[in-house]
Amino acid sequence: MSAADQKSRLEALRKDVNFHNYRYHVLDDPVISDAEYDKLLNEIKAIEAEHPDWITPDSPTQRAGAAPSERFRKVDHPAPILSLSNAFDPDDFRAWAERVTRLDERVASADFVVEPKLDGLTVVMTYEDGLFTLGATRGNGEVGEDVTPNLRTIEALPLRVPLLPDAPQPPRRLVVRGEVFINKSDFEAFQAEQAETEGKVYQTARNTAAGTLRNLDPAVSASRPLTLFVYNIVLAEGGQVPGTQWETLEYLRDLGFPVADEPRLCKSVDEVIEEYGRWMEIRQEVPYEVDGLVVKINDIQLANDLGFVGKDPRGAVAFKFPAQEVTTTLEDIRVNVGRTGVLTPYAVLEPVEVGGVIVKQATLHNFDFIEEKDIRVGDRVLIKRAGDVIPYVIGPVLGAREKKLRKYKPPAKCPVCDQPVEHIEGEVAWYCVNAACPEQLVRNVEHFVSRATLDIGGLGIKIVEQLIDEGMVADVADLYALDRDKLLELEGFKEKKVDNLLSAIETSKSKSLADLIYALGIRGVGEVVGSALAANYRDLDELAGAKTDDLTEIEGIGPNIAEAIVDWFVRPGNQAILKKLKQAGMWPVAEPRAPLGEQPLDGLTFVVTGTLPTFSRNDAKDFIQRHGGKMTGSVSAKTDYLVAGENAGSKLDKAQELGVTILDEDRLRALVE
């Protein structure tokens, strides 16, 4: 390539990388994979290494991260929040070790601390006299964004250190650095819930964490499963802190900070590489996403003496795992129908191995995603399999599209029942709105009987399908009209099985109104909204009469959910269900509320932990809400009471720590008498 060509290539690359930086850091919505991004950035680095005089201050190699958004107060970091250079394989890693040894021969006999590199977001937290006073994002490394209220909602974050009495006293001012992330299983559950309700579907746990942390409403953070690990001390004033990274981790743990498991102290480069091999084996098993290791020279003074290259300290390196991304051919796009009728597209792939597993299908999130990325059947597509999460399509490899492929069109009819599908203004999802759609019916009954709702045991998916096939169940209310003799005629149904099933159905009649509302499977109405509705309406008749304006008055219910509720109750099929439920005696009535303004638990916030003698978790919540109180999931300085039962765990410790009043079930009941 001529010098002129190389220079214009460099300019094009910079433009690209700056664009992708913005997508990733500011919009939290990347359009290429991390591996592709690294490739572009490495190409820039290579050209710049050859022509150092071409480096400009706006080159993406010259900054550590994103421009802070205008929406948050800016905070100056007390010291630069640096980034790390990468090693992509053992040879790269050895090259790093040799480079730093050449600079300072003390490295030859140095120890290394090897920590998992968590795939999350850097946060910087300040503690003054032990009290958490400020939390910021990294921003551009010099200036970050004040996200203190959002960080406060993270249970793992200690609001005061030390947490335990005989721990060391921290320096007067202590600034620590950590990573906010979401555990793999929590992310999976979150994705499932978002897909069922109208929530935004994020591509990765990392994007979800980023979007959440930079949301202006801390209630959003509180409702999402963010967690945290802390790994560095940025600054300590007015007190001593350890001189090695190994002791720092121990010290942070002693103070009460969450620290990642399985750091290792390695005595040599070979030992580090061995540890890298070990992590490649176990990385799928740890509950959080790890995209590599961070190797740090243990002696902090020595590491600092080595200085920096650009914004990367020489004394540490990110030793990345190979990407769990591959390309394969998209053979077909098919569509699933969910419980609430949401149509979800998925990819049928030419089978391909990713990280030791053969992948044949991957989620495509929603139809907008297919449109935005212009994914077409026949394309080569990049897929990612991260941890235990369902593999997903990142996008098409446009360069590999050879012939003209047809643009994908979402189906106009439900693939199961062939009825027209509908799109709701402002939402991404398409719905099959046919209440009699057999696929929805199976999912609906499954949800209606599940442990989280009415807990009708003995009704597994096979039996549900059997009852529907036999024509005995055409909606959820039919469960209450099942005939013992007819059941006995079914294949595989013996007396005992039938009696158990009927008695489980009978028992469900004593469930609460909140449980029943949740069980009906109204779009957007989960456990939380179900309880809120039950706290405001006496029974389903009263709720059926509610107008959208009444509903949006209730905390946690926006116009979309309100409309979905009203819409559900006006449908004749659903009215028939209600009539049958009432006739069958499946008609819970909420206990009358105290007159407004006089509720005994008004303004009080409760957390419930452990097993209570008679209340289930839901009963306790109903009880508290009915009397004007609020129940939240985690103990904080704002908690008024912790209701503790048997086997109470860390919430009890935290409540004691914070001086929160602790009640048992009897004393909770006594509060309202």
Catalytic residue annotation: 117
**CA–CA dist 111, 268 (Å, integer):** 7
Report the DSSP beta bridge partners of residue 293. Answer: 116, 319
Size of the site for ligand IVH (CB under 6 A): 14
Can residue 275 be called a binding residue for ligand IVH (CB under 6 A)? no
What's the sign of the alpha-carbon dihedral 117, 118, 119, 121? negative
Enumerate residues 6+ apart whose C-beta is below 8 A from 289: 118, 119, 120, 181, 184, 205, 206, 386, 387
For ligand IVH, the closer of residues 123 and 343 by Cβ is 123
490 secondary structure, DSSP code: S
From 156, 188, 341, 392, select the one nearest 256 (Cα to Cα): 156
Tokens of 436: 């009699």
Can residue 82 be called a binding residue for ligand IVH (CB under 6 A)? yes
Can residue 433 be called a binding residue for ligand IVH (CB under 6 A)? no
> How far separated are the first and last CA of the chain, in Å rounded?
84
For ligand IVH, the closer of residues 249 and 644 by Cβ is 249
Can residue 300 be called a binding residue for ligand IVH (CB under 6 A)? no
Query: By CB under 6 A, which span of 76-84, 190-198, 476-484, 496-504 interacts with ligand IVH?
Result: 76-84
Can residue 635 be called a binding residue for ligand IVH (CB under 6 A)? no
**CA–CA dist 537, 544 (Å, integer):** 9
Classify 60 as helix, strand or coil.
helix
Tokens of 665: 């079930």
Can residue 21 be called a binding residue for ligand IVH (CB under 6 A)? no
Site string for ligand IVH, 192-231 (x = CB under 6 A): ---------------------------------------x
Contact by Cβ (8 Å): 110, 172: no
List binders of ligand IVH among 179-198 (CB under 6 A).
Answer: 179
**CA–CA dist 281, 426 (Å, integer):** 44
Can residue 259 be called a binding residue for ligand IVH (CB under 6 A)? no
CA distances from 554 to 136, 478, 486, 531, 592 (A): 32, 31, 44, 11, 17
What's the sign of the alpha-carbon dihedral 176, 179, 185, 188? positive
Q: From the CB of 106, what's the least distance to ligand IVH, in Å?
A: 19
For ligand IVH, the closer of residues 122 and 148 by Cβ is 122
661-663 β-sheet, strand order: 630-631, 605-609, 641-644, 661-663
For ligand IVH, the closer of residues 186 and 439 by Cβ is 186
Can residue 83 be called a binding residue for ligand IVH (CB under 6 A)? yes
Site string for ligand IVH, 106-125 (x = CB under 6 A): ---------x-xx---x---
For ligand IVH, the closer of residues 313 and 391 by Cβ is 313
Can residue 175 be called a binding residue for ligand IVH (CB under 6 A)? no
Q: From the CB of 121, what's the least distance to ligand IVH, in Å?
A: 7
Q: From the CB of 654, what's the least distance to ligand IVH, in Å?
A: 25
**CA–CA dist 509, 610 (Å, integer):** 26
For ligand IVH, the closer of residues 232 and 508 by Cβ is 232
For ligand IVH, the closer of residues 320 and 339 by Cβ is 320
Site string for ligand IVH, 307-336 (x = CB under 6 A): ------x--x-x------------------
Indicate the pairing of strand 312-313 with strand 264-266.
unpaired
Q: From the CB of 318, what's the least distance to ligand IVH, in Å?
A: 4
Q: From the CB of 169, what's the least distance to ligand IVH, in Å?
A: 25
Binding stretches for ligand IVH (CB under 6 A):
82-84, 115, 117-118, 122, 179, 231-232, 294, 313, 316, 318
